[in-house]
Amino acid sequence: MRNRLREFLIAASRQSRSEMEISMIKCLCVGLGGAAGAMLRYLIGLVPVGASNGFPVKTLLINILGAFVIGVLAVLGESIPFHRFWY
């Protein structure tokens, strides 16, 4: 574990300032996406759905909605030239 951390810190110290900024932006985007997903999952979980047979309807709806959002983001990522920001 210590060796992995040491290797990570050495590799991070060799990055230029712009590479570090890009890495931080990527990290922030992942964190914001995770926070938004967690909040939406919680809010959808509050929706009263009568499932008397024990089938997890809310989980199914959350997963379908999440797949849809990921698909929309993937299409937007292909159509908008974000590559300038990532490389």
Cα distances (angstroms) measured from residue 33 to each of 15, 28, 64, 77: 25, 8, 17, 14
Confidence of residue 73 (pLDDT cuts 50, 70, 90): confident
**Tens digit of pLDDT for each residue in 16-42?**
667 777 778 888 888 998 898 889 888
pTM for the full predicted model: 0.57
* Res. 54: pLDDT tops 90: no
